[in-house]
Structure 1
């Protein structure tokens, strides 16, 4: 597949499309997980360190999911 995309000149377009899909999935997952975990702007105002810790955990989890879907799949 790589050789075909490279020789036809479509590799960059293919990779750009995958990147857009991965970024969209990551954003969607972060939003969904933060809602599920009740990590809100109110929490951010009340306890910034806790908010940062939870958001970092959420981002890490989302990155693992995206990586497993797009990189390791």
Structure 2
């Protein structure tokens, strides 16, 4: 009997009653921690980009991809906050003189940076 394409690629079968079922496995990938940005992107992929999600999952590259997205987003978030703090003149002196104003202004900056990162990286 001629070999199937699956058998030519070193595929294995498992007998289930009268049928031979191919033993399919997902390639193993390196486990990497995924932060909040990666989790948000994962939810976005599952809901709006199902084909991309399935392709990454079945190729064994999903975890690596999400860890990379998380790293990019975290770096962008940090640099946005630092740039906005310098542009608006938010310093340690302001923190010492008026902690409440410093907290409010920094909270606004963090919210703006979060929206930019979500728009540019997480939900793109």
TM band (smaller chain): over 0.9
2:69 pairs with 1:24: no
Larger Rg: 2
Aligned equivalents of 1:28 and 1:34: distance in 2?
Answer: 10
TM-score for the superposition, normalised by structure 2 = 0.57
Runs of 4+ in 1 over 2 A off after TM superposition: none
Deviation at 1:35, TM superposition (A): 0.4
Aligned length: 73
Structure 2 partner of 1:69? 120
- C-alpha RMSD over aligned residues: 0.8
Q: Select 2:94's aligned residue among 25, 43, 49.
A: 43
> Between Structure 1 and Structure 2, which shows a larger proportion of helix residues?
1
Determine which structure has greater relative contact order: mean sequence separation of CA pairs < 8 Å that are 6+ residues apart, divided by chain length.
Answer: 1
Q: Which consecutive residues of structure 1, in runs of 5 or more, have no partner in the other structure? A: none
> Between Structure 1 and Structure 2, which shows a larger proportion of strand residues?
2
